[in-house]
Homo-oligomer: A and B are copies of this chain.
Amino acid sequence: MACCPKSVIAEILKAKGTIKSVYFVACGGSYAGLHPGKYFLESESKELKVDHYSSNEFCHATPKSLGEHSIVITQSASGNTPETVKAAEIAQKAGAASIVITNKPDSPLAQNGDYVLVPEKGSTANSGQGYSLKLAVEILNQTEGYENYDEMYNGFDRIDKIVGNATQFIAPRAEKWAKMYKDEKLIYTMGSGSAHSVAYSFAICLLMEMQWINSSAIHSGEYFHGPFEITDRETPFIVFMSEGRTRPLDQRA
């Protein structure tokens, strides 16, 4: 079994010849965590069919293009999420290559994976999100080619240090903010581009699930088409301001 995104994709391409579709499938925070790969590949690939499914949607409304020339990437930290386990099983039965990202290499989900990637604790580059993006970069580079491949890996090499420094830098302000807003009943989150999924997981996992605070992740580009109307001085918003090309959307909102 190949160990890393690069060799995993190389092995799959060697076995299958061509890849026509790539599906990113998970639930909740893991669903959001796969989004960077989907977002990158959808935007950069000229040929591949790409989509992002909540697992049970994939199980009940399986896309017709799923087959031998597909790759299905699933993720579950525990490896026990039943609908994600089922999705990987459906992928394998259809003849697709099943890549699983999980902390538990002996879990039911891992058993439905042709390849299993275990995130490195404390790393961003080799987190579930990082693996999703690396897999997407490898799929693109090994099929159509990707001109910014070296730069991308340069970024992966540096991101852990950048995140570590940023965390240290922001922690005191974040703690102050958290204490100010800890009793709120409702906090909106907002983002665009690949940060939209960060806004989503922050809303459903951190605020709703862990803090029991009502929330909703709004796409920055949608803010002025409805959500704007509920904005007043009292309603807190967390904007995940993107560094990328969709930053103008976040700034406008």
Contacts and interface: CB of A to CB of B under 8 A. Distances in A.
Interface string A188-212: 0000110000000001110011101
Contact of A214 (B46, B60, B186, B228): B186
Interface residues of A, number: 58
Contacts of A221: 27, 54-57, 83
Interface string A27-46: 11101000000000011111
A50 interface: yes
A222 B81 CA distance: 12
Interface in A32-89: 42-51, 54-57, 60-61, 63-65, 81, 83
A131 to B, nearest CB: 19
- Which of A51, A61, A210, A224 has the largest number of chain B CB atoms within 10 A? A61
A50 B47 contact: no
A204 B228 CA distance: 9
Given A28-B225, A209-B226, A214-B214, A46 B65 contact: yes
A229 interface: yes
Interface stretch (A4-12, A110-118, A245-253): A245-253
A171 interface: no
A54 B193 CA distance: 10
Contacts of A248: 56, 60
A227 interface: yes
A216 interface: yes
B219 A54 contact: yes
Given A61-B245, A64-B45, A213 B230 contact: yes
B229 A208 contact: yes
Nearest to A44: B64
Best-buried of A43, A54, A225 by chain B (most CB within 10 Å): A225
B51 A192 contact: no
Contacts of A54: 192, 219, 221-222
A212 to B, nearest CB: 6
A141 B27 CA distance: 32
A47 B203 CA distance: 35
Interface of A: 20, 27-29, 31, 42-51, 54-57, 60-61, 63-65, 81, 83, 186, 192-193, 203-205, 208-210, 212-217, 219-222, 224-230, 235, 244-246, 248-249
